[in-house]
Structure 1
Amino acid sequence: MKAIHTITGASALLLFILGLFIYFKFVGAPAVPRGLEDYYVQIPTNSTFEEVMDILEKKGVLKDRKMFILLAERMKYKRGSMRAGRYELQPGWSLIEMIRHLRGGTQAPVDVILTNERLPENVAAKAARFIEPDSVDILGLFQDEAYLRSIGYTSETLMSLFIPNTYEFYWNTSPKAFVERMIKEHDAFWEKENRLKKAEALGMTPQEVYTLASIVEKETLVNNEKPRMAGVYLNRLRTGMRLQADPTAVFARRDFDTPRVTHYHTKFDSPYNTYLYTGLPPGPISMASISSIDAVLNAEKHDYIFFCAKGDGSGLHAFAKTLPAHNDNVAEYKRNLQKRGLR
């Protein structure tokens, strides 16, 4: 009787040891390689369980599909819908830890960086680099006039929605969710620092302020010069003078790489060409930086209505109140170019 108890005890111990071996070999062993700092998997929307396993295999974190299926069933992961998203997998995680994380749906966000995109298609392409929808789907929404009207925009004014910044999104954000987030960020931006009241004081809408800011953005790279530049354009608008802004003529021609503005640009018939049409163009000619938007809202009050580049390599402009003074500045500009061997 004692021998039977000894054999039974030995068998139990053997089974226990075997169980520990199986656990540490197949279940508790690290599935995610150690030593990795940033390890992410992306689960597309509407993925099946089989597709999730394929993704994990390609990432090198799934070696035993049968064990994964067994654990997933016991953890009720296989029965539920696969949660789309971008997930960070910690180095050294076991299959159990990995399944628990994927089942929980806790995503790792991505940063979408919007800076100086010129056209809606550029914004769509930039966003598509960071979130799941491709640029075609995003641009399709940008070009849906009925949808744009429902949110208070047109295809011409849409660019005024985008405020340059770094935005945190979930990878599986839809095109509409992307736009809705941009609306929220846009509204929050305009509610700060009395921007709406300042726009109203100028007799302009936020879209009009943004449109003018986009011109200022392309006219000068010097931030502390922007308020003076904005003041020139506001003076022209008030007096009914054409803006005659070179960047609008370049935009009208879509000749963005031109080194110099010529009659090819300024004579081109387009509502965006402020050499031919009075007032603001139909919409922004690019994204406007926050510094340019605030430059319009806080424009210098002065009597300047002319300006031209100094041509001395500083990137600065010479401003004038009269045409003769402006002509003198133009002559100085040409002399500076000659001195630098550029003319």
Structure 2
Amino acid sequence: MIKKLAIVLLLAVAAFIAVMFYAKSEVTNYLQQPLKLDSKQLITIKHGKTLKSALWLIEKNGWINKSSFSRLLPHLHPEVVHIRAGTYQVTPGETLKQVLLTMVAGDEYQFTITFIEGSRFIEWREQLNRAKGLQHQTADMTEAQIAKALGESREKLEGLLLAETYHYTEGMSDLDILKRAHQSLSHELDNAWQTRQENLPLKTPYDALILASIIEKETAVGSERQRIASVFVNRLNKGMRLQTDPTVIYGLGDKYDGNIRKKDLSTPTPYNTYVINGLPPTPIAMPGVDSIQAAVNPEQSAYLYFVASGNGGHVFSKSLVEHNRAVRDYLRKLRANKSN
């Protein structure tokens, strides 16, 4: 009798081990199956959702095959249980276990938004409104209200945000991005001002920022920035007006239709440097680091004028006679191109 009971017990234990081995094998196969994707996808796990909810969502999308053994995951693989809320990117060939471990680590997908050097604050707002994954906290705020929220004493934010690429995760706000951009600009401007040349006709870091914004709008050629800066610095030192078209365009605002006319050059606005002396009251765009550095460390030159070369760069002149000659050459190139 005892012998029979022992045999039954051994058989039961063997059967249990076999079932557990089979169950463990099925769970392993479930975890190791690659996601059925043709391209990268995003998946969002909301706050309060559990492992079971995440598995249901992945199965619902058809990315993995269902398994009745999935309920054993918490017992056999506790390392995948405590997933975090967030938005995650999944890629073709990635296994279910890899996805779950990413969620446990909270390694969220990083969205990016890139602001172009020379862009304006109105363009930044449009970009932010279109950006995916952002909470639009500033949608109903005026520029002055946003400036106050950033801790900025000025009401106008033109030039006070650093144009570059910013990364963010799902649920961050557009105000978060603007705060980082403002802090980055302040840091770069402070560093540049500490290493500025002596005897510049710039009284404050904000003056340097205004000049940097003009440099940014005048050239996209990196090697020209310091020379462009030298022209403006030389003109300021001599009491000459800057006479730069981008400031006229900025002053025209919505009236600018793509062309500058003679009457525009003589129409007074706070930004028309053909009419006003010195710098305009604010920056006219968001400058990059290179333009800020050029503004405070211009090339040492005697240039007072420049005009487009027709080949992407500029021709620089030391006298009005030279400049007028360069302008005539440029106009000849324009006419020749139009006739071809």
TM-score tier by shorter-chain length is 0.7 to 0.9
Matched, 1:205 2:204: yes
Matched, 1:196 2:197: no
Task: Specify the alignment match of 1:20 in structure 2.
Answer: 21
Any gaps of 5 or more consecutive residues in structure 2? none
Identity value in percent: 23
SS in structure 1 opposite 2:160? Answer: helix
**TM-superposition CA deviations, 1:76-117 (whole Å, max 9, x none):** 999x8953344567955446x644542442334445433336
Matched residue type, 1:196: Q
Across the aligned residues of Structure 1 and Structure 2, the Cα RMSD in angstroms comes to 4.3
Shift of 1:205: 3.3
- Asked whether the equivalents of residues 114 and 163 of structure 2 are also in contact (C-alpha less than 8 Å), the reply is no
Task: Specify the alignment match of 1:116 in structure 2.
Answer: 117
CA distance in 2, matches of 1:270, 1:131: 38
Task: Specify the alignment match of 2:334 in structure 1.
Answer: 337
Shift of 1:37: 10
**TM-superposition CA deviations, 1:226-279 (whole Å, max 9, x none):** 222212222333344332211222233457996643246435554333334333
Task: Specify the alignment match of 1:235 in structure 2.
Answer: 234
Matched residue type, 1:137: Q
Matched, 1:174 2:161: no
Task: Specify the alignment match of 1:6 in structure 2.
Answer: 7
CA distance in 2, matches of 1:88, 1:62: 12
Task: Specify the alignment match of 1:319 in structure 2.
Answer: 316
CA distance in 1, matches of 2:58, 2:144: 37
- Asked whether the equivalents of residues 35 and 94 of structure 2 are also in contact (C-alpha less than 8 Å), the reply is yes
- Asked whether the equivalents of residues 163 and 185 of structure 1 are also in contact (C-alpha less than 8 Å), the reply is no
Q: Which moved more, 1:238-247 or 1:86-95?
A: 86-95
Any gaps of 5 or more consecutive residues in structure 1? none
Matched, 1:246 2:248: no
SS in structure 1 opposite 2:30? Answer: coil
- Asked whether the equivalents of residues 87 and 102 of structure 1 are also in contact (C-alpha less than 8 Å), the reply is no
SS in structure 2 opposite 1:198? Answer: coil
Matched residue type, 2:117: N
SS in structure 2 opposite 1:159? Answer: coil
Task: Specify the alignment match of 2:58 in structure 1.
Answer: 56
- Asked whether the equivalents of residues 137 and 175 of structure 2 are also in contact (C-alpha less than 8 Å), the reply is no
Matched residue type, 1:332: D
Matched residue type, 1:16: I
CA distance in 1, matches of 2:265, 2:274: 6
Shift of 1:34: 5.3
CA distance in 2, matches of 1:267, 1:221: 27
Q: Which moved more, 1:240-249 or 1:20-29?
A: 20-29
Matched, 1:148 2:145: no
Structure 1 residues 225, 277: closer, same or farther in 2, change over 3 A? Answer: same
Shift of 1:11: 3.1
- Asked whether the equivalents of residues 80 and 100 of structure 2 are also in contact (C-alpha less than 8 Å), the reply is yes
CA distance in 1, matches of 2:67, 2:339: 68
- Asked whether the equivalents of residues 109 and 169 of structure 2 are also in contact (C-alpha less than 8 Å), the reply is yes
CA distance in 2, matches of 1:200, 1:87: 51
Shift of 1:196: 2.8
- Asked whether the equivalents of residues 217 and 292 of structure 1 are also in contact (C-alpha less than 8 Å), the reply is yes
Shift of 1:133: 1.1
- Asked whether the equivalents of residues 216 and 229 of structure 1 are also in contact (C-alpha less than 8 Å), the reply is yes
CA distance in 2, matches of 1:326, 1:264: 22
Aligned length: 336
Shift of 1:71: 4.8
Mapping 1:209-288, distance limit 5 Å: 209-254=208-253, 260-263=259-262, 265-266=264-265, 270-288=269-287
Matched, 1:30 2:31: yes
How does the TM-score come out when normalised to structure 1? 0.74
- Asked whether the equivalents of residues 252 and 265 of structure 1 are also in contact (C-alpha less than 8 Å), the reply is no
Matched residue type, 2:137: D
Shift of 1:162: 0.8
Task: Specify the alignment match of 1:295 in structure 2.
Answer: 294
Shift of 1:342: 5.6
- Asked whether the equivalents of residues 44 and 88 of structure 2 are also in contact (C-alpha less than 8 Å), the reply is yes
SS in structure 2 opposite 1:225? Answer: helix
CA distance in 2, matches of 1:218, 1:231: 15
Shift of 1:220: 2.2
Matched residue type, 1:160: L
